[in-house]
Amino acid sequence: MLTGKLVRLRAIEPSDAESIYRWIHDPEVGRYMTGDYPRSLAQLRKRGEERPVNTYENVVLGIESLEAGKLIGVVDLRDAAPEIGRAELDIYIGETDHWNGGYGTEALKLMCRYGFNVMRLHLIALWVVAENERARHVYRKVGFVEDGRHRECHRGPDGQYHDMYLMSLLEPELND
Ligand SMILES: CC(C)(COP(=O)(O)OP(=O)(O)OC[C@H]1O[C@@H](n2cnc3c(N)ncnc32)[C@H](O)[C@@H]1OP(=O)(O)O)[C@@H](O)C(=O)NCCC(=O)NCCS
């Protein structure tokens, strides 16, 4: 179920730390994402080794290109609430030379299908910066709808405030 035509989703390995280190320090990748304070490669390696197992509340998966046979990004479903069947999704393709190749769309569909079929989620939500046109296009294509716009709630690495959309997807709306 977690393998498509272009990608497979798998648990993160400690050896993925080098790629993740490169991606989180790439300003192009982080342009519309909520950043963290800088971390060293050693800190990321340690986190990789101590990473807790995936649970219902927090499922973090690596996106592996089947053709290249390497990790190209990360997708997660977090803060799942069993009483409601709601979780929030984050995704990024860190290898920028893989952007616009269909990888993000497929990874998103696989993760949402997993959320609905295995985790029995009722609704998957996400936040996206208004100017992030590519991501918004992909989310809409997969079936997410815009629930509302939250004004100036994101402060980007550019030091500017940006609006964000809250988007959500119900199971029958998933276009896979
Ligand atoms: C957003 C992201 C996950 C999408 O993954 P991807 O693999 O690049 O996307 P895909 O190749 O599957 O699809 C890209 C689509 O966006 C379209 N697109 C590209 N640039 C666009 C733009 N500026 N405006 C609108 N649509 C655009 C492409 O034409 C394609 O649509 P199509 O398949 O209908 O032709 C990826 O680009 C990424 O990780 N970006 C940086 C981090 C990020 O923004 N993450 C999301 C945070 S909410």
Domains of the chain, earliest start first: 7-173 (3.40.630.30)
| Closest residue by CA, ligand 1 atom 42 | 92
The tokens for 76 are 């997660």
Rg (the chain; Cα; Å): 16
Mean of all residue pLDDT scores within the chain: 96
Whether ligand 1 lies within 6 angstroms of the CB of 169 is answered as: no
Is pLDDT at 102 greater than 70 in this prediction? yes
| 35 band by pLDDT with thresholds 50, 70 and 90 | confident
Q: How many CB atoms lie within 10 A of CB 59?
A: 21
**81 pLDDT exceeds 80?**
yes
What would the mean pLDDT of 135-139 be, rounded to a whole number? 98
State which of 33, 134, 137 you would mutate to test the pocket of ligand 1, scoring each by most atoms of that ligand within 8 A of its C-beta.
134
The answer to whether residues 173 and 146 touch, using CB atoms and an 8 Å cutoff, is no
pLDDT of 17: 97
Q: How far is the CA of 49 from the centre of ligand 1 (A)?
A: 31
Nearest CA to ligand 1 atom 33: 102
Mean pLDDT of 135-149: 98
- Asked whether the beta carbons of 72 and 98 are under 8 A apart, the reply is yes
Across the range 72-90, mean pLDDT stands at 97
Q: What is the mean pLDDT of residues 56-71?
A: 97
Q: Is 117's pLDDT higher than 90?
A: yes
Please say if the pLDDT value at position 84 is more than 70. yes
C-beta of residue 16 within 8 angstroms of C-beta of residue 9: no
Is residue 50 within a helix (H) or strand (E), and if so which, with residue range? helix 41-50
Residue-level pLDDT at 1? 64
* Of the candidates 151, 150, 147, 152, the residue with the CA atom closest to the CA atom of residue 167: 147
